Amino acid sequence: MKRRSFLKSVALAGGAAATGSLRAQRGVVPAPSDTEITLRPHLAGLTISPQFYGHFIEHLGGVIYDGIWVGRDSKIPNVNGIRRQFIDDLKAVSAPNFRWPGGCFADGYHWRDGIGPADKRPRTYNYWQQNTPQEVRGIETNQFGVHEFMNLCRQTGAEPYVAGNVGSGTVKEFHDWVNYCNAPAGTLSLADERAANGDQEPFKIKYWGIGNESWGCGGDMAPEEYAQLYRDFVTQFPNHLPAFLIATGPRGHSLDHDVGWTRGFFEGMKGRKSRVDGFSLHYYTDFRQTKFQAAKFSVPEWYSVLLKGMAIENAILDNWAVMTEFDPQHQTKFIVDEWGNWYPPGEEIAPGFTISQPITLRDALHTALTFDIFHRHADKIAMANVAQTINCLHSLFLAHEDKFVRTPVYYVFQLYQAHMNGRVVPMEISGDQQSVTAVEGPAKMPLVCGSASVKGAALAVTLTNPSLDSPRAVRLQLDGANVSEAKAQVLTHEDRQAANTFAVPNLVSLANLPVTMDGAYVRVTLPKQSVVSLILRTS
């Protein structure tokens, strides 16, 4: 069945009037609904920070080189060496931040290698070259350094978040980097050096990570050892502006969510004055030790990935509970600075694109479920960064030479943009959970997942139907408000494995979805395996 007729048949099955019109229709005879959703905008709570929809980009495989950096002399359309399409598409989803330069790369990176005349920059060792055939790429050319990174941030309007080198760098090297970036020209010599390299204005970088995965590739440390090093790195931190300092947090996808790291770190910080603004949480929906594939999967494998993705909520709750013991006022918030699906190797997008993988509709639904969880925990999370934006694990884009494609994940970022700066609206979803069969055995999962937020008179509602079998008719009711207009968009495809490829770039993309209004109710039918966004005008 073609995509258009799939959507139309789904809409008719749900009893909605499928006119294709964007406007909701009044007076349509209500069809029975499977799921009732009640929204209470008058009880709206915390604001959804735009920083939840942030990015992580690392010097790894095809992420920076080829993906983002094509070079100033490239025939590929670019802005000062940065792929223009990447900039344009990220601006279109209001990308709020980039975490850079790693990842495991960060703790081997020496920032001075990436400044000064491009042809004089050294070729250096990249942590990832051990996994990457050197004939294709791997050795670090340092053509993309901090000035190029800041140019990317300026072009996209995103906030920079720099991960410092704790694993193999010194405190002085780190502080020099901060001074180079943030001191006003005409003050420190390092600031004048920055100006001589083309940037008179300070970079004003607020977010600084003190290492990355210090329990692993970032230093193989015990949490108490890291706490000591953390204090060494932050005590004399050059304060040119109010900075936000981020400590390495747990490996959240470990079976016990790595709460031992969290406890050990905060034990090590007990009674000390050093500030910890952010505590990094990594959560990979990690299938590296399995036979799962990114592009081809069975029905149980679909549910396994979504269920394991949703378990990020347990990693948040379990680690938060430990943090509460040490920091009851919660001065420290989570920075979920690496999250996404990670399948076993073997499906790389291009030669040398280490840990890149195809992205399907399954990854898109996982994205929506993850964002809903971030919204629910808006009190605990200050920022999140998808790993990684392009040519990697849970990517929004795939690019190779002059080819570029938006993945289904990109469109979820587009749908959820409506939540940025909205206040979380309590949402009650009726009905039981559904029984599904995952690879691990029978399991339960919600019939419908979702979240809602309000900004002035606009209510944004995002809903996911994870079922591979059936559409779901939904009736939304607003407590204390009427709806004067409703619009809906959907991301779905009849093939659960649908992906956008260089050959077929637009197989999965957004479509309008019929929505009806009757009195205080809004009705919409969620196609099977879909993410739906509604924008409701209230009166």
Q: Which residues are catalytic?
A: 213, 338
Which tokens sit at 88? 């344009």
The nearer residue to ligand AHR, 207 or 303, going by C-beta atoms, is 207
DSSP 269-313: HTT------EEEEEEEEE-TTS---SS---HHHHHHHHHHHHTHH
* Cα distance between residue 4 and residue 409, in whole Å: 20
**Binding span for ligand AHR by CB under 6 A among 44-52, 143-151, 222-230, 387-395:** 387-395
User: Using CB under 6 A, which residues numbered 174 to 233 contact ligand AHR?
Assistant: 212-213
Place of tokens 């969880």: 373
The nearer residue to ligand AHR, 284 or 416, going by C-beta atoms, is 284
| Smallest separation, CB 276 to ligand AHR (Å) | 19
The nearer residue to ligand AHR, 63 or 532, going by C-beta atoms, is 63
The nearer residue to ligand AHR, 34 or 213, going by C-beta atoms, is 213
| Smallest separation, CB 148 to ligand AHR (Å) | 19
The nearer residue to ligand AHR, 182 or 214, going by C-beta atoms, is 214
| Smallest separation, CB 12 to ligand AHR (Å) | 43
The one among 132, 367, 388, 451 contacting ligand AHR by CB under 6 A: 388
| Smallest separation, CB 49 to ligand AHR (Å) | 22
**Binding span for ligand AHR by CB under 6 A among 102-110, 269-277, 292-300, 530-538:** 102-110
**Binding span for ligand AHR by CB under 6 A among 100-108, 194-202, 222-230, 521-529:** 100-108
| Smallest separation, CB 226 to ligand AHR (Å) | 15
Q: What residue number has its CB nearest to ligand AHR?
A: 103
| Smallest separation, CB 394 to ligand AHR (Å) | 9
The one among 104, 294, 350, 405 contacting ligand AHR by CB under 6 A: 104
Contacts of 483 (CB under 8 A, 6+ apart): 24, 459, 517, 520, 522, 536, 537, 538, 539
| Smallest separation, CB 355 to ligand AHR (Å) | 6
Question: For residues 156 and 79, is the Cβ–Cβ distance under 8 A?
Answer: no
The nearer residue to ligand AHR, 35 or 142, going by C-beta atoms, is 142
Structural Rg of the chain based on CA atoms: 23
Give, to the nearest 10 degrees, the angle between helix 189-196 and helix 171-182.
60
Nearest one of 146, 140, 57, 152 to 102, comparing CA atoms: 57
The nearer residue to ligand AHR, 126 or 489, going by C-beta atoms, is 126
Residue 338 is a binding residue for ligand AHR (CB under 6 A): yes
Instruction: Give how far Cα 176 sits from Cα of 74, 130, 171, 259, Å.
Output: 33, 29, 9, 33
Q: What are phi and psi of 135, to 5 degrees?
A: -65, -25
Q: How many CB atoms lie within 10 A of CB 89?
A: 20
The nearer residue to ligand AHR, 60 or 515, going by C-beta atoms, is 60
| Smallest separation, CB 270 to ligand AHR (Å) | 27
Residue 249 is a binding residue for ligand AHR (CB under 6 A): no
Question: For residues 86 and 399, is the Cβ–Cβ distance under 8 A?
Answer: yes
Q: Is the dihedral of CA 396, 398, 403, 408 positive or negative?
A: negative
The nearer residue to ligand AHR, 166 or 460, going by C-beta atoms, is 166
| Smallest separation, CB 345 to ligand AHR (Å) | 12
Instruction: Give how far Cα 299 sits from Cα of 296, 305, 371, 453, Å.
Output: 10, 10, 23, 32
Q: How far is CA 442 from the centre of its chain?
A: 29
* Cα distance between residue 67 and residue 53, in whole Å: 20
**Binding span for ligand AHR by CB under 6 A among 101-109, 364-372, 408-416, 434-442:** 101-109
Contacts of 398 (CB under 8 A, 6+ apart): 349, 356, 359, 390, 391, 404, 405, 407, 500, 501, 502
What DSSP state is assigned to residue 399?
A: E
The one among 101, 103, 249, 252 contacting ligand AHR by CB under 6 A: 103
Instruction: Give how far Cα 402 sits from Cα of 71, 90, 185, 398, 494, Å.
Output: 12, 18, 38, 11, 29
Residue 102 is a binding residue for ligand AHR (CB under 6 A): yes
Residue 363 is a binding residue for ligand AHR (CB under 6 A): no
Total residues at the site for ligand AHR (CB under 6 A)?
10
User: Using CB under 6 A, which residues numbered 57 to 86 contact ligand AHR?
Assistant: 58
Residues that bind ligand AHR (CB under 6 A): 58, 102-104, 212-213, 338, 387-388, 393
